[in-house]
Amino acid sequence: MLQYYRMLDKKTTMGWGKIQVDGSEIWDAEPIFKNEKVVFKDWLKLLFYPKKWFLYNFIVKHVKSVIPAQAGIFSRGKIPVFTGMTEAESSIIRVLDIGCGTGSDVISLKKIFGRSVEVYGVDVVNLQMDLAREKIKKYGVWAEVKWYNGQELPFVEDYFDAIYTSDVLGHVADVRSWLSELNRVLKPGGVLAMFSESKLGRHAYVRNYLMSRGLNVDPHAEFHISLYSKNILREYIEASGFEIKKMYSAFWASFLVHPDEFFDKLQNQQKFPILKLINKILYKIKKRLHPYSTALCELYGLVEMYLLGKWVEAQGYVILAKKRYGKE
């Protein structure tokens, strides 16, 4: 807790994957959108956050389609059947962030939609919930965050129009049960916008080469307990009642554009001299030219996902899916 208060006093963030005394992993970042309203200039920032570009846009597109549809339904007096909710409750549009960390995406999503959409967040780390509540107050939005046990979401069935979750599935012990729980709280026709870590794919050439020689460069390897191939991920998601609309692999050329992910573990090795040299050069160049180099690398990632993402099997996938209606 001391680190928590120290962080708030300095008004800084902890960063990604910081390990606490109790063994939990803290994910802390500032929201992309900080102004009261998100305008076109703000939206361009997503070009440098390729995963969020796909995930946010998928949710926004769905919400835009839901608003006029719901208005039409209720103007004709037709009430959709959503378990345990009144007509007024079921007409509210809700978005859930699962594994919300300290609330950066909760805030960004709320900034996008304003009062027209209710945004909720859940996480399994109590400290992150405390930080998220402070951050929500700081940025002047209304959103609700809750702790949950990682298994049962504290919401009734068919409650949300969209679910956002990023870098979470790989940390889940029982993935199929977790996906079924996501399906339970999502309305029929609702969307799932997810980034999932994965098992190394056949096109992750450098990582596979290092792994086959005993070096796992995943900086969060000790926390990744459920990593699956692209085909298994697809099978599990579809078996849980979702229809996958699109699936993109992220950062096939990670060795070139994210040398920092390889640096610590690779540079501590006695072997791999050529890869170590290339990695060291790329790392220093990227660090020296930051933030311009970082922005360029992330923009490259977006282009790569559009051009190659549907076919390449690297490590990690953006998954855009929709909950099927009934027995569809």
Average pLDDT over residues 221-250: 95
Average pLDDT over residues 113-122: 94
For residue 26, the cross-strand partners are: 18
> From CA 235, how far away is CA 281, in angstroms rounded?
40
pTM: 0.87
Residues 6+ apart with CB under 8 A from 130: 4
High-pLDDT (> 90) share of the chain, %: 75
Write out pLDDT tens, residues 71-117: 443 333 333 333 344 444 456 899 999 999 999 999 999 999 998 89
> From CA 132, how far away is CA 7, in angstroms rounded?
13
The residue that leads in pLDDT, 170 or 8, is 170
Identify which of 188, 31, 170 has the alpha carbon closest to the alpha carbon of residue 100.
31
Report the amino acid identity of residue 25: E
Residues 6+ apart with CB under 8 A from 274: none
Per-residue model confidence (pLDDT) at position 71:
46
For residue 321, the cross-strand partners are: 192, 244
> From CA 249, how far away is CA 202, in angstroms rounded?
12
Write out pLDDT tens, residues 164-217: 999 999 999 999 999 999 999 999 999 999 999 999 999 999 999 999 999 999
Write out pLDDT tens, residues 252-310: 999 999 999 999 999 999 999 999 999 999 999 999 999 999 999 999 999 999 999 99
Per-residue model confidence (pLDDT) at position 69:
57
> From CA 263, how far away is CA 274, in angstroms rounded?
13
